[in-house]
Copies of this chain bind each other. A is one copy, B any other.
Amino acid sequence: MAKETIAGLAQRLGISKASVSYALNGQPGVSELTRRRVLDLADELGWYPSSSARALSRSRAGAVGMVLSADPLLIGTEPYYMGLLTGIETALAEGDMALMLRMVGRDPAQERATYERWAGERKVDGVILFDHRHADPRPALLERLRLPFVLHGAPAPEGVAPRSGTTTDHALDAATIVDHLHQAGHRRIAHVSGPRSFLHEEARIRGVQDRAGRHGISVVQYEADYSLDSGRDAALALLRGGEGISALVFGNDLMSMGGLLAMRAVGLRCPEDVALVSWDDSLHCELASPSVTALARNPGMQGRVAAELLLGLLDTGEVQTARMPAGDLVARSSTGALP
């Protein structure tokens, strides 16, 4: 079983390399009979065309890259990423694209270096970006490098050249959460967000502020960093402040868990003393006691859509955006929704 090549197949069948290639790729130029013979032989031999040879002659890598640039610790514990990844990979596989994964720390230079290398080596055909920041250097970098990309989960851009990507209506999600708290009778709440440098956090903050204002609810904004500890610290600061806050909204599930720990530490009961909502659902929310009311966002589906947008962009060059459906509020004990 010496490694076969397309020349080998051609020789066995007594036809030219070109015909084999056409037959394999479903292109015109060969008769149905020849095509069948080629496909059957390839099948019989268990032969696949060399991906690097193909990549070289097609000038297409057949792979999509993704850089995870969060803290390793956060990546491993944040179920949202894994869900996203699963969705992305599934969609890519269906489009016959491989997923190349790279993990770097919070160091932007490394992420930048990775893109430069990927582009220079033509190792990936495109990349998926998320956690869009204010004045994010990545889109400009990628455009300079001519590396196609989609932007996942950013708020809909205003007055900017359109880019491929998924957009989320964070104001709508904010309204869902605030309305839920309003119905439960809360008049003063705190919103513990992730870093404000993220566009989506900015949008969420505005959304919460707006909706709360409409209900006559006052909001204390607090900036944290998505980690468990930062959530705990935030809760401690807010609840000790004696500001009469009766509900906390956390930007992700980890911080929500931190919030629960803080409440336990200072002897406040949930939901009786302070209610809690997580802006991301996960097993943590389900398992915590009390279980935590959360906005479920279906990361798997979002990843799938993002990947499909990228495939479309690579295939046809068509720039499109997809609006993600609104999150579903899963009411649990932490807002008194369940006994």
Q: Which A residues contact B (CB, under 8 angstroms)?
A: 46-56, 61, 63, 72, 75-77, 79, 81-83, 85-86, 89-90, 93, 98-103, 116-117, 120-123, 228, 254, 257, 260-261, 282-284, 287-289, 300
Contact = CB atoms under 8 A, between A and B. Distances in A.
B76 A103 contact: no
Nearest to A257: B287
A185 B326 CA distance: 52
Given A46-B116, A56-B52, A121-B50, A82 B76 contact: yes
Contacts of A261: 287
Contacts of A100: 63, 98-101
A82 B103 CA distance: 11
B75 A77 contact: no
B75 A89 contact: no
Nearest to A100: B98
Contact of A99 (B49, B101, B117, B260): B101
A99 B54 CA distance: 20
A89 B191 CA distance: 35
Contact of A120 (B48, B53, B120, B283): B48
Contacts of A101: 85, 89, 99-101
A1 B259 CA distance: 52
16 contacts: A48-B121, A50-B122, A51-B61, A51-B122, A51-B123, A52-B56, A55-B55, A77-B79, A93-B102, A93-B103, A99-B101, A100-B100, A100-B101, A257-B283, A257-B287, A287-B288
Contacts of A102: 89, 93, 98-99
A-B complex: 5 closest residue pairs judged by Cβ atoms? A48-B120, A52-B55, A51-B121, A76-B82, A51-B123
A76 B72 contact: no
A52 B122 contact: yes
Contacts of A63: 100
Nearest to A81: B82
B49 A121 contact: yes
Given A76-B86, A90-B103, A52 B46 contact: no
B103 A123 contact: no
B72 A300 contact: yes
A284 B79 CA distance: 12
A90 to B, nearest CB: 7
A128 to B, nearest CB: 13
Nearest to A287: B257
A278 to B, nearest CB: 13
